[in-house]
Structure 1
Amino acid sequence: MEDGDEEALKDWRVWRELSVKKYTEEYDRLNVHFDHYLGESLVGKEWQDKALTRLDELGLIEDHDGMKLVNLEQWKMGKAVLRKKDGTSIYLTRDIGGAIERYEKFKFDKMIYVVSAQQDLHLAQFFKVLELMEFPWAKDLEHINYGLVTGMSTRKGYRCLLSQLMKESASVIYEKMSENADKLAQVEDPQVRCRGERYLWNQNPGFHC
């Protein structure tokens, strides 16, 4: 993909389309909708090169054994690597290019990154580099972090899909609703409502699914 190999890009497009389709279906059940699905893998070499050029012009890039990095040690953030020895980009390079591209396209008032607490340093480095690049909108970026669920690990195969969680939640809600037959009888399509299909919020005063 880094080299623009069309076969690799073709496979990636197929998997991305399937993933977005699944996201859309699950979000729709939660009454959540997005105008765009953008990821760092969509950030092209053009925007990455623009970011590196600006960093170089500002004298912020250091070369260390073939790696390109930004020294952030005075802010106690270590050294942020931008390019590996083999010339390939990493998340930070694409995140910087992506932020520039998104501002150019959308002129956002605020951009929020919801990323786990494991990536606190990465986001801190990312925001600091943009600030050093003298982008006035860098102050409008915010990181909202979250912890991890004990026992969950996608790499080890220990995970719970959102679809599974919603299915289990719907089952528990319906079971609870069924304890009161009179109120259950007042609800139109109770199982549909509990599954979140068509209705996210049940306006019936007796139940909220």
Structure 2
Amino acid sequence: MTAIGRPRGFDADEALQAAMLVFWRQGYEGASLADLTDAMGITKTSMYAAFGNKEQLFRKALARYDEGPASYALRAVEKPTAREVATAFLNGAVRTTTQPDGPPGCFGVQASLAAGESGEPAREILSEWRNNGRRLLETRFRRAVDEGDLPPETDAGGLALYVMTVAFGIAVQAASGVSRADLQGIADTALRNWPA
């Protein structure tokens, strides 16, 4: 009888979680293949077979981040009012970027900082990821204008950009060591300027 294939000797889900944390801590360029495979507990051959090249692994790690730590964004846009959307979004940014058991800051910001030419794919991937988040908020805020939840003169695109800018500013400050309490204060201050 011929063997169909050798079973994987590792848990792909755990390996991807480990890769996500390496990219989050060290960025795309800072994460060497050795760093990734050591953290994942697998060989380079196994990594390529299971996840593809470094860029493909990075895309999968970002998707895992999006479905896990950053999933607050999708939950936020389901809130009944625009103010509740912004509140949940900014509070989620504070919680995610200051997790005691995770890297400080945001994967979507940290992973592309200080990247040279070889990091260009990661910069492009993350730029699109951030722009998708902004468009998600803008669409939700346009709906709020249409429903009368926001004043008719509200610039939904500008408001979405404002919320995203505050959220990513929170992420940068979290990576610099600013406390969760102080960052929550920033989020609360930003919401004081919410359209009446």
Superposition TM-score tier, normalisation by shorter sequence = under 0.3
Higher strand share: 1
Higher helix share: 2
Where relative contact order (Cα < 8 A, 6+ residues apart) is larger, the structure is 2
Q: TM-score, normalised by structure 1?
A: 0.25
Q: TM-score, normalised by structure 2?
A: 0.26
Higher Cα Rg: structure 1 or 2? 1
